Each structure stands twice: as C-alpha cells, then as structure tokens.
Amino acid sequence: MNPKDFQLNINSIFPSSLWTSGNQEIVYQDIKRYTYREFYDRVRRFANGLVNLGVKPGDKVAVLDWDTYHYLESYYAVPMIGAVLHTVNIRYPPEIIFYTMNHAGDKFVIIRDEFLPMVEKAATLFDFVKGWIVYSDTDEEIKTTLNPYYNYEHIVESSEPIDPPDIDEKTIATLFYTSGTTGLPKGVTFSHRKLILHAQGLAMSISYSPLNITEKDVFLGLVPMFHVHSWGVPYLAIMTGKKYVLPGRYDVKKILEMIKNEHVTFSHMVPSILYMILTYHEIEQYAKYLNGWKVIIGGAALPKGLAKMAKSFGITTVGAYGMSETCPLLTAALFTDDMQNLPEEEKFDYMISTGKPAKLVNLRIVDSNYKDVPWDNKTIGEIIVRAPWLTDEYYKDPEKTEELWKDGWLHTGDLAVVDSGGYIHIVDREKDAVKSGGEFIPSLILENIISEIPEVGEVAVIGRPDPKWGERPIAFITLKSKTTKEKIMDELFKFVDTGRIQKWWIPDDIIFIDSMPKTSTGKIDKKDLRTKL
C-alpha cells in the first residue's frame, strides 16, 4: 500500500489512541479491568493466533456472546487480519442462528461456553465450521464435544503480537443480519472505511448534541454488540479514548451497580431498556447515581412519557435514528444555536425528536416522485439517504439489494414529516403504518401522546382491519398504576381538545397487557401484537 494513500482501516484507530489514552481502562463487569495498551497487546496476539489457525483474508469469523471484553477484542482482531467479523444475534431462535451462520458460511466461530450446549446439540449441521474458539468467565476447564476446539486464552498466551497488515479500507470488516421482523433475516456488510467514517460521524454528532461529551465521560453501552456493532460505540469509545464499561448479559441490578461503581456518565440504548431500568423495583436506591447520566435513545422513537420519567431522575435523553442497513447513524437531535434560546418545553420536544441529519448524511424526505416534502410538519414522505457508511448490499441477495438501493438512494421505508425548524419527526414505518379511510394515522405520534398519561407504562398502536375504514388503530398498553379504558379515553379526548391529535386518530379499542412482547433487539414487537388482535 502506498503510505501516502492512508487507509481508513480498523488498525488506524490505535496509534493516536494509544498515545493519548494508553492507560485508559476497559472494564468487564467485576471480572476484568485492563488498559488500552494491554487490550491492544491481547488483540494483536489473538489476531496472530487466528492467522496461525488458518484464518484467511475474507473468511467469515462468527462470534456468539453477550457484551464482553473477549467480544471487544474480536471486534478488532478479526478485521485486523482482513477477515470478516460476523456478529451473530444470539437472541434469535436456534434454527435462525443456524440459518444466518450457514448463509454467512462462517469458517471459524468464537463462542462463550454458555452457548456450547445449543451448538453441540446440532453439531453435525455445522460442517462448514473449521474451528471453534471457546472462552469462559471462569478458570475452570472448558469441556466440549465440538471439534476442532481451541481455547481462546491459550491462543492469546501462546501467540506473538502480530504486526498488523495495512488492510485496504474497502475490505469488508463486518457482517450481521437484520432482525427479520418480516421474513428471514438479511445480511448487511460494512467495510473498514465505512466503520471508521461512521465512528467519526458519531463522535461529531455527539459533540454537537446537548450531551456535551468530553474525555471525562465513562461509556457503558446497552445496545448489544451483536446488533449493528452496538451502534459503532466499540469503535467510537476506543477512538476517542473513553473509559469503556462492558456489561455482559443485561441484568438491571448489575447495570445499576456498574453505573454506581464505575461512575458511568454516558450510555445508549433502545427505549424499552431505559424503561426496564427506571421501573426496576430497587431504583430509588440508585437514583442519586443516575443524576447527570446522558443517554442516547434510538432504534425506536423515544416516547415523551419515558423522557419525562428520565428527566425526573436527572437523566438527559437525546433521540437518534438509524437502521441496520445504515451502520446505523442517520440523524441525532443535534444542538444548534437556534435551539438554545427556545422555551424549555419546546427544547425538550426537539431533544426527543428524530432530530436532524448527522454530518455527511445526505437525507431526503420525498413523495413517490422523489419530490422533497415541504417543511410544514404535515406532509408525509419516505426517508431516503446517501452517506459514507451505508451497506452496499444485502449479502448474497441481489434482488433485495436492488430494492433497497432503488434509483441510487437507500430507501429506509420510514415515513416522516419535517417541521419549519428542519427537525424530522418519524410518524411511522411503511410496513406498520395505520391507514384509515385512505389517510395515515401516525402511530408514533399517537404512542408518544399516550405515553404521557401518567398510568401508562409502554404503549404500541397498530392497525386492525376494518370493513368500513380499511384499518382502525388499536392501542396495546401496559400499566404502571391502575386505571381504566374509560379514563384513558377521557385523557385522549383532552388531547383532541388541545389540538395535539385529531378525533379520528383515537383508537377504537385499548387492550391492556401484562408485558409488551419484544423483538430480539429489545424493541416492541408489533408483529407479535398483531397476532393478539
């Protein structure tokens, strides 16, 4: 590689990061604590070990784990040698896990001992795998019937640190599969260049947001590392020299303990995780450690009721939007000067909105003729995008790729309006949209408003087929405290009186449920709710 032609590859993160933050810490629960320098040393040893095992450039290397330091090491070691990191969604049912690994053609698998029994049961199906690399949180000897089996720690101990090759930035670094809310999951791939530029875009967006992130902030990510690279935070954190806390399998008590003990100040998650934390039965005991916590919420709209609950603990929440296909960052509730002078309530509404395009994201909201919608807060269009970090393809699926990239724009399938200040508000997903009497009822706006009713916990609005109107909205609700359908309806009519919703948006029925069904990535599962109609 010509040294003047600097390659934006994963290894390019380290020289400056080690120089400025070599003693910075990476912490995994109360099990492991080490510096960036020690981390990099282990990454290079593991990378060399993988080469010695026979991992070749382009080979797919899968990981099955929760959010651990072994996973973080693999995030760097696998792409560092030109191989492709496949982050397997371990919340899929086993047959879908097998489907994605088979589809990817994973040659090697890095796996936490906890997942061995699931794989061992179906070992003969995995004949495409050439080696299983296993680790455990304990020092006990690992026993497995998988063959050939290698011990992760032995590989690290017995290998010399690799001198990282200068990988071409266009080389594919990662592969993972979408949640498969409709049909089988689809694979998306990202090059080194895309990951580096995405981490930079994310860093810029955070610094322009009301979160005001500095080098003193301590990160604890709560988006699983198997899901869209935990939104790129494992690369962002190391690039920007932050103390990085890895929570393992999500357990609210443990998360709260880590927030307390490690002085966590910054996290990111989907709304339902924040809801789970704030409604934890011992939350009052931890309340003082949450004061000042800065949280990016994305993956689904941030309901105002939840943002207000967070505020009552002194937590600042900021909305962001993206999807698996987009690495994921597309928008964030960016902090512009005009926002500073707004009344508090209005500022709050903008901070929980879909926000504005992140730097370098070319985002449009268009009608079916590609005409941009006016900034009138009411004309609905589809969000289409171009940006430096979008997936080029659905892996091995040219037909779906063509649909995704129709006419040279990545089609998100998300419907949105823009207000006069340029803030985007997603009103629905095309496939979830409720169409009543030929008009859209924006289910996300309706959910947002219902979430403000104090007794409401979580809410989802979906369309029920209706002979007269085509579809009518139905609200599924979990309760924080007792109330009745009639009382909720009364509240909704008050929102009609104040002009926040239209009368015909009011759901035909309210169905109380004990808990919301969630997808493998922790979002409310509307597909499942439809089966309950």
**Helical H runs in 12-68?**
14-21, 36-53
One of 68, 519, 522, 524 touching ligand ADP (CB under 6 A)? 519
Choose the binding region for ligand ADP from 11-19, 54-62, 292-300, 308-316 (rule: CB under 6 A).
292-300
Least Å from the CB of residue 429 to ligand ADP: 4
- For ligand ADP, the closer CB: 102 or 181: 181
Choose the binding region for ligand ADP from 178-186, 310-318, 342-350, 488-496 (rule: CB under 6 A).
178-186
3-class secondary structure per residue, 201-228: HHHHHHHCCCCCCCCCCEEEECCCCCCH
The reply on whether position 174 binds ligand ADP by CB under 6 A is: no
The reply on whether position 301 binds ligand ADP by CB under 6 A is: yes
Helix axes 443-450, 485-497, angle to 10 degrees: 110
Please name the amino acid found at residue 59: D
- For ligand ADP, the closer CB: 307 or 456: 307
User: Are β-strands 410-418 and 381-386 bridged in parallel, bridged antiparallel, or unpaired?
Assistant: antiparallel
Please name the amino acid found at residue 327: C
Positions 446 through 475 that interact with ligand ADP (CB under 6 A): none
Supply the DSSP symbol for 358: P
Q: Tokens 């594919």 map to which residue? A: 172
- For ligand ADP, the closer CB: 45 or 356: 356
Q: How far apart are CA 436 and CA 421, in angstroms?
A: 29
3-class secondary structure per residue, 476-496: EEEECCCCCHHHHHHHHHHHH
The reply on whether position 299 binds ligand ADP by CB under 6 A is: yes
One of 18, 61, 72, 300 touching ligand ADP (CB under 6 A)? 300
User: Are residues 361 and 385 in contact, defined by beta-carbon separation less than 8 angstroms?
Assistant: yes
Q: Closest Cα to residue 352, out of 361, 341, 344, 362?
A: 344
User: Are residues 196 and 89 in contact, defined by beta-carbon separation less than 8 angstroms?
Assistant: no
Q: Closest Cα to residue 446, out of 503, 406, 518?
A: 503
Q: How far apart are CA 257 and CA 282, in angstroms?
A: 11
Choose the binding region for ligand ADP from 28-36, 65-73, 316-324, 461-469 (rule: CB under 6 A).
316-324
One of 189, 191, 354, 451 touching ligand ADP (CB under 6 A)? 354
Least Å from the CB of residue 330 to ligand ADP: 8
The reply on whether position 179 binds ligand ADP by CB under 6 A is: yes
Least Å from the CB of residue 300 to ligand ADP: 5
The reply on whether position 89 binds ligand ADP by CB under 6 A is: no
Determine which helix (DSSP H) or strand (DSSP E) holds 329, and give its type and residue range: strand 329-332
Supply the DSSP symbol for 325: G
The reply on whether position 358 binds ligand ADP by CB under 6 A is: no
- For ligand ADP, the closer CB: 205 or 324: 324
- For ligand ADP, the closer CB: 59 or 458: 458
- For ligand ADP, the closer CB: 56 or 435: 435
The reply on whether position 100 binds ligand ADP by CB under 6 A is: no
Kindly determine how many residues on this chain lie close enough to bind ligand ADP according to the rule CB under 6 A.
Answer: 20
Choose the binding region for ligand ADP from 37-45, 111-119, 174-182, 361-369 (rule: CB under 6 A).
174-182
The reply on whether position 426 binds ligand ADP by CB under 6 A is: yes
Residues with Cβ within 8 Å of 323's Cβ and at least 6 positions away in sequence, in order, are 228, 330, 412, 414
User: Are residues 242 and 219 in contact, defined by beta-carbon separation less than 8 angstroms?
Assistant: yes
Kindly tell me the sign of the dihedral angle through the C-alpha atoms of 458, 209, 8, 157.
negative
The reply on whether position 323 binds ligand ADP by CB under 6 A is: yes
The three-state secondary structure class of 247 is coil
Least Å from the CB of residue 324 to ligand ADP: 3
Least Å from the CB of residue 42 to ligand ADP: 30
Least Å from the CB of residue 31 to ligand ADP: 29
Positions 379 through 418 that interact with ligand ADP (CB under 6 A): 412, 414
The reply on whether position 181 binds ligand ADP by CB under 6 A is: yes
User: Are residues 359 and 330 in contact, defined by beta-carbon separation less than 8 angstroms?
Assistant: no
One of 28, 321, 476, 505 touching ligand ADP (CB under 6 A)? 321
The three-state secondary structure class of 299 is coil
Least Å from the CB of residue 523 to ligand ADP: 5
Determine which helix (DSSP H) or strand (DSSP E) holds 527, and give its type and residue range: helix 526-530
Contacts with ligand ADP, residue ranges (CB under 6 A): 178-179, 181, 298-301, 319, 321, 323-324, 354, 412, 414, 426, 429, 444, 519, 521, 523
